[in-house]
Structure formats: structure tokens, C-alpha cells
Amino acid sequence: MREPNDLSAFWMPFSNNRGFKQAPRLLAAAEGMHYTSSDGRSILDATAGLWCVNAGHCRTQIVEAIRETAARFDFGPTFQLGHPLAFELASKLGMIMPEGLDRIFFTNSGSESVDTALKIALAYQRARGQGSRTRFIGRERGYHGVGFGGISVGGIVGNRRQYGTMLGGVDHLRHTHDLARNAFSRGQPAHGAELAEDIERLVALHGADTIAAVIVEPVAGSTGVLVPPVGYLERVRELCKKHDILLIFDEVITAFGRVGKATASERFGVTPDIITMAKGLTNAAVPMGAVAAGRHVYDTVVENAPEGIELFHGYTYSGHPLAAAAGLATLAIYEEERLFEKAITLEAYWADAVHAMKDLPHVIDCRNIGLVAGIEMEARAGAPTKRAMEAFHRAFDSGLLIRVTGDIIALSPPLILEKTHIDEMFGRLADILKAID
């Protein structure tokens, strides 16, 4: 007989279930910059949940918007119907996207946004009479969620080991992580723009007329905060344009102020054809994702379709009222508190704090952009990931939530943080790293 609070029933995602259930870490509440653990400890959130609670936890405006909407209008379909909240959010979102990317398709997660973007790319190519363009180009170390499209264009070893072949017709650019040339870069690393030329090699191999789209994260987050080398994204953009290939930026992490602007596209001055997002869109209070498509993409798919449904795709919960209400309240907070600019205002202070970790034991790289950082540790001989995992456990026990991926510590705090929080985070982290052998 199991107890009602037995932990074994929940098959936890991306977790070591066996290890966790022997020593569970449970969160019970959250407010502002902090979580409260189930044993009543305050935990400073250096990760904005999972890169998503950009405006800080349990914001009253968002809570009230959800509450009010839930009581008034629980659900309404958006297939051949609509409700004002979804249209209003799409308009507002379109206004903060790069010029021209204001046709918004709603999803419920980053993974769904990625698969939606890939399908839109295929639909676009067919609609303009280029149906032979069915291949995709992703990148090594790219993370694009967990749908079959996303794991196929992604470059995560674990997916390949567990799921095998996946979507056919996908190639990968080399990743841009290069400690030999770029270790301890502040902001964008100097070396690596030439890696974009991989697109030329793949075009030479397959023919441009077989390639639908290139998808990359402008800053790769989940595989350890890989900041694009100077000139790299610009060159990717140029080559896609040259070969008439769509460019998709997966901005699930980078959108909504993480790098100091509404999008990384704006920060780096490079505009793709399609942007995927999720996370910060609703401050994570209700799951929601979105795809922003350029007008040229939308017009081609919609105008050239035969009479009837143009894009054969959608989710029951696309534009869900509670998510739309949360999204509107979230965008209002971002604007009122000028939170996107916050990452720019604090960037130098943040970078100094990140790079002060340089001489701590086992640290082999520190990197930063906006309010995100990666601190890479040397893997323990014969036990990769163990050192960073130990840092994670020690941090949690001492009241600090960090994220680890491989042997990299990834930090991405809520954008409401103050300098004192930065001092506290890195002060604690330094103590933790000093204690790890």
C-alpha cells in the first residue's frame, strides 16, 4: 500500500528518479527572487525557475489576471473561433518582435513551438512551389525541446543514444564552443564566425533546393550557455538569404529580456524569418509558447493555400485564455518595469561577478551575456558531471538554486534582481566551489 504522499508515482522528467527519491528536494512556495523549500528554508533563485520566471515569482498582476480570467472564461477553442485575449496577446507580442515578425501562432511549450516552426517552414516551401526543400539544418549541442522534430534538429547526445534515428534529412552545423580559442570571453567570443560556413558545405553536398530551414539558438542555453562568436549569426543570416533557406531562431530562453532586449535577434541585430519562444512569455505562470513568423512566411502560406485550412496544425490549447491573460499581464510588467533593459544595465556588474569565479578550483571557463552565465568546471576524472552535480546539491542545501548541465553551471536569475542578489549568489557560489574537490 502506498502512502498518499508517496514520491514513487511521479515519473519525473529529465531526472535521476532513483537518486532523487532517496533524498528528495521539494519546493513549496515562491515569491520574488526566492523559493521556499518544503522544510521552510528560503532559497535564492539564480535560475528563474528553468530560465522562465523573468519577472520574479508570484507577481500579483499575473496572479490576479489568471484568477479573474479563470472565473469568467475558462476555455474557448481557437479553431475557426476566437476570443479577444488571444488576439490581443498576439498583437502585443508582434509589437515587440523584430520588424515584420508579427504573425503569431500559439503553442503550449517550447518543444511545441519548435515543431510548429519546422512545420511552418515545410508548409512555406511547398506553398511557394519549392516542395523539394524538406531538409533541415540544426547544430551540434543545440537544444530544441523534446518533440521528434526538436530532438532531430537538436544536437544532444542523450537523445541519439535513447531514441536512435529520428527525423531523416537533418544535418548539423558544428557547435561554436571552443575553449582553446575563446576561454573566459566576456560577452561574445572573438573566434568562430567561420563555423557558419558549414552551411555552404551542406548546400554543396545536398543542393540548396533540398533545404527548408536552418534552426539555431542565438545563445545556446541548455547545453551550457554558448554565446555566439562575433560575426557568426550575421554570417548564418547571410548564407541563408543567399540560398533562399529560412532561418529560425529558437529564442525559448533568450526572448523576453534575458539578453537585454525583447529578443536576442534585436540584441545581435540579426533578424531571422521565424522565432520560437515560450518560458518568459507568461513568466511561466501558465504554460504557453509561441512562434512569430515573418509576414512573408505567413502571407505565402495563407495566400497561396487552396480554399480551406491553410496550415494543417494546431493545439486544443493554442491561445488558451488563462495563458493569454497571464501573457498580457507579463508583457505589461516587462514594459512598466523596463525589465528588458535591466539586463543591459546590470550586465557589466554581472560580468565582473561571473569572471571573479575565474581562479576558483576546477573552473576552466566563465562566460556571460545579458543576465546569463556559464561557469564550466573540469570534469572529475572518470566521473563526468559529478563535480557540477555536487555543486548543485551543496548550493541547494545552502539556500541557492543553480542549474547544472554536464559540468557547466548555468545561471539565469529573474530580471528583477538587484546588485545585492548578485553579490549573494556569487559569494555563495564561490564558497561552494572552494569546498569541492
- Output 34 or 144, the one with its CB closest to ligand PMP: 144
- Output 162 or 420, the one with its CB closest to ligand PMP: 162
d(CA 417, CA 427): 15
- Output 387 or 403, the one with its CB closest to ligand PMP: 403
390 phi, psi to nearest 5 deg:
-65, -40
Q: How far is the CB of 273 from ligand PMP (least distance, A)?
A: 17
For strand 400-401 and strand 42-45, is the pairing parallel, antiparallel, or unpaired?
Answer: parallel
- Output 69 or 109, the one with its CB closest to ligand PMP: 109
Q: How far is the CB of 4 from ligand PMP (least distance, A)?
A: 28
List contacts with ligand PMP (CB under 6 A).
109-111, 114, 143-145, 217, 221-222, 250, 252-253, 278
Q: What is the DSSP letter of 20?
A: H
Distances (CA, A) of 334 to 235, 339, 419: 31, 5, 19
Q: How far is the CB of 393 from ligand PMP (least distance, A)?
A: 21
- Output 109 or 116, the one with its CB closest to ligand PMP: 109
Q: Which residues pair with 240 in a beta bridge?
A: none
- Output 196 or 220, the one with its CB closest to ligand PMP: 220
Cell of 407: 559540468
| Residue-by-residue DSSP string for 406-421 | TTEEEE---TT--HHH
| Nearest Cα to Cα of residue 258 among 101, 396, 55 | 55
Q: How far is the CB of 250 from ligand PMP (least distance, A)?
A: 4
Q: Which residues pair with 216 in a beta bridge?
A: 249
| Nearest Cα to Cα of residue 392 among 359, 428, 349, 363 | 428
For strand 403-405 and strand 408-411, is the pairing parallel, antiparallel, or unpaired?
Answer: antiparallel
Q: How far is the CB of 141 from ligand PMP (least distance, A)?
A: 11
What is the Rg, in whole angstroms, of the alpha carbon atoms belonging to the chain? Answer: 22
- Output 119 or 128, the one with its CB closest to ligand PMP: 119
135 phi, psi to nearest 5 deg:
-85, 155
Q: How far is the CB of 420 from ligand PMP (least distance, A)?
A: 28
- Output 159 or 300, the one with its CB closest to ligand PMP: 159
- Looking at residue 349, its amino acid is Y
| Nearest Cα to Cα of residue 54 among 435, 273, 295, 333 | 333
Q: How far is the CB of 228 from ligand PMP (least distance, A)?
A: 13
Q: How far is the CB of 84 from ligand PMP (least distance, A)?
A: 25
d(CA 422, CA 316): 41
| Residue-by-residue DSSP string for 67-78 | HHHHHH------
| Nearest Cα to Cα of residue 172 among 152, 194, 144 | 152
- Output 110 or 155, the one with its CB closest to ligand PMP: 110
Residue nearest to ligand PMP (CB): 110
Q: How far is the CB of 253 from ligand PMP (least distance, A)?
A: 4
Q: What sign for the dihedral angle of Cα 52, 53, 55, 61?
A: positive
